[in-house]
Amino acid sequence: MTEMVFGTTPVRAGDPILPRWWRTLDKWSLTCVLGLFAIGILLGLAASVPLAEKNNLPRFYYVQRQLVFGAMGLLVMLVISMMTPRQIRRIGVLGFAVSFLLILALPVIGTDFGKGATRWLSLGFVSIQPSEFLKPGFVAICAWFMAAAQEPGGPPGRAFSFGVALVVVVLLALQPDFGQASLVLFSWLVMYFVAGSGVAVIVGVATLAGAGGLFAYNASEHFARRINSFLSAEVDANTQIYFATNAIQEGRFFGVGVGEGSVKWSLPDAHTDFIIAVAAEEYGFVMVLAIICLYATIVLRSLLRLVRERDPFARIAGTGLACAFGVQALINMGVAVRLLPAKGMTLPFVSYGGSSVIASGIAVGMLLALTRTRPQGEFAEILRRAR
């Protein structure tokens, strides 16, 4: 036999890895990722200049750094996308172990950069946020446990995955980083549902999460202040949310013009958490819609390809990665328009940040690898050939 069939894509035995990778890859998703990164650089040319001038740095200092970080992130993404599901599982588990140990060390060697949450490791020339790298590893290890539970005589993988999720959520909440904790819990619930859990379990965990949120509201002044600000009928004119929502309204349909926006001079995090406000003000609703469509295309195409996947690990992990990627973008944009409380979460591939773009490259690289067309990927194809 000289050929195998990857879905409907013929691949010759012994075919070099690059042609095989290119034929089986979801090229639409890859194109959308490159489009998001290009938009991020375009917006960074405007959003990061005020910060550079404030810090007495060259005007495009942060853009140049983002280009370096982005090149690293995209390279990592492409390399990981060539791996098999087994290799993805291995690097995911290893990445989770390293990130988990770094998070445990944060109270001793971490820093908060004056933001009230110890989330970063400062190396002098660059800072690392371990929670960004924890997310893809967390998805991989939980998917591994859940897939193992489906095998005859397999371990109680779902219970193991719940234990891992509980420990991670508590550690992130203690930083405090409630946004990342919520995203981790959401991805676990999605994977648990795909693995075949009952609705009652999901409702129970969601109720437990609600109780945890109520406890955090009463125990954490930082958390309570953000919730109260979100629920308030009026927005404090001194907050970043106020400037962001005003900028989005000013942009209207086509924006005020390239480089003509003013919100970047008022928002300290215009180049990171509120980059969508810069896009809306200078380029208008058209740019925001384009960004939303790019994210939606990646998520929907990934889920459609995973529906045909027979490997339990690939199906569960891929779904968790796709949903976490899409929901992170949704949370970031939702905060900017005051549909959600402030979370301090970046917009993948668009916001400035080395940890963010490299971790996003790892996560999307894993997603591209798991959604590549492989043998036995489609039941219909197998049944047709059997007949």
The answer, yes or no, to whether residue 323 has pLDDT greater than 60, is: yes
The answer, yes or no, to whether residue 150 has pLDDT greater than 60, is: yes
Q: What is the pLDDT of residue 327?
A: 95
175 alpha carbon, distance to own chain's centre = 19
- Check residues 125 and 42 and name the one with the higher pLDDT: 42
82-86, 160-164, 232-236, 318-322 — which is least confidently predicted? 232-236
173-187, 234-248, 330-344 — which is least confidently predicted? 234-248
90-99, 215-224, 275-284, 327-336 — which is least confidently predicted? 215-224
Helix residue ranges, H only, the chain: 17-24, 27-47, 49-54, 61-81, 85-109, 130-149, 157-173, 178-194, 199-219, 221-231, 240-251, 275-307, 312-336, 354-370, 379-386
Selection from 347, 369, 348, 352 nearest residue 360 by Cα: 348
The answer, yes or no, to whether residue 277 has pLDDT greater than 70, is: yes
Q: Which residue has the tokens 């946004």?
A: 179
Q: What is the mean pLDDT of residues 32-60?
A: 91
Give the span between the Cα atoms of 161 and 167, in whole angstroms.
Answer: 10
The answer, yes or no, to whether residue 10 has pLDDT greater than 60, is: no
- With cut-offs at 50, 70 and 90, classify the pLDDT of residue 197: confident
Element housing 12 (H / E)? strand 9-12
Q: What is the mean pLDDT of residues 347-358?
A: 92
Q: What is the pLDDT of residue 122?
A: 78
- With cut-offs at 50, 70 and 90, classify the pLDDT of residue 14: low
Q: What is the pLDDT of residue 192?
A: 94
- With cut-offs at 50, 70 and 90, classify the pLDDT of residue 377: very low
**Where are the chain's structural domains?**
26-371
Give the span between the Cα atoms of 339 and 333, in whole angstroms.
Answer: 9
What average pLDDT does the chain have?
A: 86
